[in-house]
Amino acid sequence: MARLKRALRETPVTHSTTNVNDDGRPDCPGIPCPGWLRLGGSVTLAGTAPRRKTRWFVVIFAALAASAFVFSSAGTAFAADTPTPTPSASTAAAQSIGVWVRVAADKSNVAGVKVTITGPKGFNSAVVTGADGKATVPLDKPGTYKVALDASSIPAGAGAVLGTNPRDVSVGVGNQGVPAYFLLGSAATTPSPGSTAKPSPGSTSSGTSFGELALQRVATGLIFGLLLALASIGVSLIYGTTGLNNFAHGELVTFGALVGYIVSGTMHLPGWLGILAALVFGGVFGYLQDLGLWKPLRKRGVGLIPLMIVSIGLSLALRYIYQFVFGPGLLVTPSDNSSFLTLGPVHLRFTDVSSPVVCIVVLLLVAFALLRTRIGKATRAVSDNRSLAAATGINVERVIRIVWVAGGALAGLSGALIGYYQPINWETGGSILLLIFAAVTLGGLGTAFGALIGSLVIGLLVDLSTLFIPSNMKFVAALAALIVILIFRPQGILGRRDRIG
């Protein structure tokens, strides 16, 4: 008994100290001792391994705190740099419409154009576009407003209005800078105001022939398809390696657009730095998402449907964080709108040339990495058969982590480049999410090269459809074409047919 008591006293116990009574039993007054088990005279002391409950919470909290600090600083700078619209009444308006008039061919701004806005309860206001082709109309109440461009105020040589004029614009509560954009066509054969002349056969009412418009749409469609491909490849790689349909991928695109705006629009640094920052911080954001959220859920064996629902919740949360920090209005990233290259009827700005070049270079690097590098081959192996890849010694978790970094970086780059083409807001990525999914599905689920082909097809369909249908229905045309193609080829363009039996 004395030897037993001495052994118990000398045995180290993790996390607690246990006193021993005279009979050799541990002293645990009022409760059973989990560290004591007596079977047939033998004594066993059971310890408890240290638990690391707070590690993931610390990582997530640190990421959110850093993001909030960066975005709050940018939001403050944006509020300081952005001129406040002149209110139409004694108090500032809670809503506004942003008018922008440009020439369709070279995207040059048109100044001195009169635009009239009418709305609920006799609202009537008229504005004239400034040197940047823009004007802001403060609104006292939400509702549907009719925006009409006065054709007689269009400068000579700018052309006629393309699309609907006047048009209805819906403004919600607190919506600032709701877009009302007008494009003007070439004035080669545009009749003067009040003239009854009709366009010549084969030309549009603006004097631009159908063939010239088609070539312009092909150019813009290819550019949009390349931008869409950067985001779509990330979705395809993530789906191929994890099986997750990530509905929060659009917010990675928005994140990149906002980073590009902060660097170029708020800090007034060169555009290439904004693109590089969006690429880097997009990859970091993807890494943190996987580290703090998706990897723990995978370890717990959460099913794909619950994971998809989590991604929807994450998407909504990020959208409203962006809206809270940057507001609901439009943000414009500075870009060079001057004509840079002319190919027949197609006039290209510097951005129209540089962005596709960046996209092509990055896509070639991605293709080289997937086909020639060890990590690329491992990624394709995990995408093809995850269990077999793990059995052959491939570190599946490491591959998934790299895929999340690459997907976030590509999405961030896509968002930054989109910001040079159009004003952005808190739901820029969400507005093209369905097109991203359509491109991935059309090209073939889980195939990076299929996502590229699908993106180019969707981009061309979206822009070419505006030759026949209103521009606000162009996304419908692309999705309808997707349905028709999948009826005849369910696996997509580059997808493989599933083997049954």
Q: Are residues 250 and 180 in the same domain?
A: no
Task: Classify strands 346-349 and 95-103 as parallel, antiparallel or unpaired.
Answer: unpaired
At residue 78, the pLDDT reads 44
- Return contacts of 305-309, CB within 8 angstroms, 24+ apart: 307/244, 308/244, 308/245, 308/247
- Asked which of 208, 243, 265 is the last residue of a domain, the reply is 208
Give me the torsion for CA of 404, 240, 365, 336, rounded to 10°: -70
Q: Are residues 229 and 173 in the same domain?
A: no
Q: Are residues 220 and 322 in the same domain?
A: yes
- Asked which of 164, 185, 208 is the last residue of a domain, the reply is 208
CATH number at residue 105: 2.60.40.10
Q: Are residues 378 and 291 in the same domain?
A: yes
In a domain, 410, yes or no: yes
Q: Are residues 331 and 446 in the same domain?
A: yes
Q: 99: domain range? A: 89-194+203-208
In a domain, 32, yes or no: no
Q: Are residues 184 and 264 in the same domain?
A: no
In a domain, 3, yes or no: no
Q: Are residues 470 and 396 in the same domain?
A: yes
In a domain, 134, yes or no: yes
In a domain, 363, yes or no: yes
In a domain, 287, yes or no: yes
In a domain, 341, yes or no: yes
Q: Which residues contact 284 (CB under 8 A, 6 or more apart)?
A: 405, 408
Q: Are residues 185 and 252 in the same domain?
A: no
Q: Are residues 154 and 244 in the same domain?
A: no
Q: How many domains does the chain fold into?
A: 2
At residue 324, the pLDDT reads 92
pLDDT tens for the 501 residues of the chain, in order: 566 556 555 555 444 444 555 554 555 554 445 444 444 444 444 444 444 444 544 445 455 545 544 444 444 444 444 433 333 333 345 788 888 888 877 678 888 889 999 988 788 889 999 888 888 888 888 888 889 988 888 888 777 887 778 888 877 766 777 888 888 875 433 333 333 334 444 444 444 577 788 888 899 999 999 999 999 999 999 999 999 999 999 999 999 999 999 998 889 899 899 999 999 999 999 999 999 999 999 999 999 999 999 999 999 999 999 999 998 878 888 877 666 788 877 878 888 889 999 999 999 999 999 999 999 999 999 998 899 999 999 999 999 999 999 999 999 999 999 998 888 889 999 999 999 999 999 888 878 888 999 999 999 998 888 888 877 788 888 888 888 888 888 888 877 666 554
CATH number at residue 383: 1.10.3470
At residue 76, the pLDDT reads 42
In a domain, 346, yes or no: yes
Show the DSSP H helices in 137-263 as ranges. 210-242, 249-261
Give me the torsion for CA of 395, 400, 401, 405, rounded to 10°: 140
